[in-house]
């Protein structure tokens, strides 16, 4: 069973469209993250939720909106997609911010291509 | 804010030889975690090794070991007996024990193994 799974793995869409990427973890973790990896392979945090509560919101355009219906899921919705949004988006989870000495588990990544 | 720097965009090594990847970081915190992640062409982020800052002993995992110099804020990864399967992007990452405990990544080093 995949611990952290993202769907879809690949997403090709036109500029201006709205799309969502889903993430689910079956590890019972409390904290989930979205990271963005740009074309130069640089990875940067976007959002983090702990028990469905937003705890990190880096300087990300308002077109990006995370949603956590429950602590096992953290979805990423992107409105009005732009060419610069093309990247690989990684979901990750950790046991929780109260468990400092635990590692993050990553999903397989979603490669988003905006044309 | 913490920063992580990997000064070697690319490295190559002959199969069976040893290679060292460099990483430096900047922080004002006294306790934290450091990680090395491997990203093969499959895109999956794989944890290679981690080091707790309060531990003076360098972490080792089979052929992978680190040289952790806390005063110098240096955290290099040594890969012994390099294998073709070690070819990947390697990312150094810092994690605070405070707040949301996000990972801060370096720019990555692309490692090529020559047969």
pLDDT of residue A96: 74
Indicate if the pLDDT at residue A38 is higher than 80: yes
Distances (CA, A) of A92 to A59, A68, A74, A83, B83: 19, 13, 9, 24, 28
Task: Name chain B contacts of A113, Cβ cutoff 8 Å.
Answer: none
Task: Name chain B contacts of A56, Cβ cutoff 8 Å.
Answer: 99-100, 102
CA dihedral B78, B80, B82, B85 (to 10 degrees): -70
A100: closest chain B residue by CA: B97
pLDDT of residue A51: 85
The closest CB to that of A97, out of B35, B101, B107, belongs to: B101
CB pairs under 8 A between A and B: 55
DSSP structural state of residue B95: E
pLDDT of residue A98: 67
Q: Residue range A12-22: average pLDDT?
A: 98
d(CA B57, CA A45) in angstroms, rounded, equals 29
Q: Residue range B25-41: average pLDDT?
A: 95
State percent of chain A over pLDDT 90: 76
In a mutagenesis test of the B interface, which of A51, A52, A88, A100 is the best target, namely the one with the most B β-carbons within 10 Å?
A100
pLDDT of residue B1: 83
**Chain centroid to CA B32:** 14
pLDDT of residue B11: 98
């Amino acid at each position: 069973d995949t611990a952290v799974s993202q769907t879809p793995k690949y997403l090709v869409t036109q500029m201006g469209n709205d799309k969502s990427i889903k993430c689910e973890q079956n590890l019972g973790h409390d904290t989930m993250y979205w990271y963005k990896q740009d074309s130069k392979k640089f990875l940067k945090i976007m959002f983090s939720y702990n028990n469905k509560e937003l705890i990190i919101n880096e300087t990300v355009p308002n077109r990006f909106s995370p949603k956590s219906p429950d602590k096992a899921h953290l979805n990423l919705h992107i409105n009005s997609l732009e060419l610069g949004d093309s990247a690989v988006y990684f979901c990750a989870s950790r046991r929780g911010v109260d468990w400092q000495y635990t590692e993050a588990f990553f999903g397989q990544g979603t490669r988003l291509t905006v044309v | 804010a913490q920063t992580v720097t990997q000064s070697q965009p690319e490295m190559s090594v002959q199969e069976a030889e040893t290679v060292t990847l460099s990483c430096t970081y900047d922080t004002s915190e006294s306790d934290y975690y450091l990680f090395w992640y491997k990203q093969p062409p499959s895109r999956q982020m794989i944890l290679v090794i981690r080091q707790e800052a309060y531990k003076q002993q360098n972490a080792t995992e089979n052929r992978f070991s680190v040289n952790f110099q806390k005063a110098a804020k240096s955290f290099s990864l040594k890969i012994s007996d390099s294998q073709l399967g070690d070819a990947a992007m390697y990312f150094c990452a810092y994690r605070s024990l405070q707040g949301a405990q996000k990972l801060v990544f370096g720019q990555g080093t692309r490692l090529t193994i020559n047969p």
